[in-house]
Amino acid sequence: MENHHTTLQPFFDYLRFEKRYSQHTLISYQTDLISFFDFIMVQYGETPIQQLSHSYIRSWLAGLKDEGLSAKSIARKISTLKSFFKYGIKTGLLQQTPMAKVITPKIEKRLPNFVADKDIKTLFDHVEFPDTWKGQTERLILLLFYQTGIRLSEAIGLKETGISFPNSTIKVLGKGSKERIIPLNPELGKELEEYLLKKKREFPHLSTDVLLVTAKGKPLAPRAVYTSVKTYLSQVTTIEKRSPHVLRHTFATHLTNNGADLNAVKELLGHSSLAATQVYTHNSIDRLKNIHQKAHPKA
């Protein structure tokens, strides 16, 4: 593997420092590329990168398929290789990419799960949240997920200074250290204001600027937030996935179902491309088909 190290390291540095990918994403790129080059080494021996044709890549992917890897995982590996060879062209290491003839497997388009309106209503109007610091924080984070569509990591990283009460907005630090501003509805603004007042009383000497804290005044742990979201959602819905991400999907689905412009939804979610946002239009189209069939005499 050592000999690939010199080829791969500049690419990993590029992903880390220029693309500002998260540690999690970097690790998946590294895993994919190292396993690919190990395979090439074992099957074909020392092979200069310029000689890697699409048939080498296909044989690696075929092996993974035989091992029972899902279409989604194989698609991820193809996308890793595409990025790597594209980088090779960009830096003049390669003339052309061997990926042109590699076909990404069809992935079953699973529509994002979302929580029905009535269940959301039940959650915030009827579910008992304990009257403790933990209970209040859990209720607030659920409201934030549902009303702003932010990611788990973004919610944990929210800063007190990121809230502008006069403008009714909150600043979110997204993937690749990109900031975005999300509007707060007046009700949520009020809840945040109350939370901050209680926080000053509860923790007068807090040194952290993090908005949401545990009963000990520490930033929230991802695992704990995940668990509490799952617990509360289980009380109101039977959908399989009961995670913070499902509330993000719910936020986006409700927006698109109510006619929000897709570009606006993209901005609110902090997606870097419209493709990621387009999955929500499928939900809307299915809904429109239903309405059409029920309401149109000729349908």
Give the residue from 145, 143, 150, 144 showing the smallest Cα distance to 121: 143
- Residue 280 appears among annotated catalytic residues: yes
**Catalytic one of 4, 58, 245, 282:** 245
Q: Is 216 among the catalytic positions?
A: no
CB 246 within 8 A of CB 142: no
Q: Which member of 58, 175, 241, 282 is catalytic?
A: 175
The single residue of 139, 248, 249, 266 carrying the catalytic annotation is 248
Active site residue 248: yes
**Given the residues 54, 65, 180, 271, the one annotated as active site:** 271
* Integer Cα distance of 138 and 143 in angstroms: 9
Place of tokens 């594209």: 86
- Which position among 29, 146, 232, 280 bears the catalytic label? 280
220 residue type, one letter: L
Q: Which of 136, 135, 180 is nearest to 157 (CA)?
A: 180
Residue 271 annotated to the active site = yes
d(CA 35, CA 30): 8
Torsion of CA 172, 175, 178, 180, to 10 degrees: -30
16, 82, 151, 159: the catalytic one is 151
The C-alpha angle with vertex 252 and arms to 246 and 258, in degrees rounded to 5, equals 130
Pick from 144, 139, 115: which is nearest to 127 by CA?
Answer: 139
Please tell me the distance from the alpha carbon of residue 24 to that of residue 219, in angstroms, as a whole number.
20
Q: Token digits for 133?
A: 């610091």
Q: Can 20 be counted among the known catalytic residues? A: no
- Stated as kind and residue range, the H or E segment containing 292 is helix 274-295
Helix (H, G, I), strand (E, B) or coil at 70: coil
Residue 56 is among the residues annotated as catalytic for this protein = no
Active-site amino acid positions: 151, 175, 245, 248, 271, 280
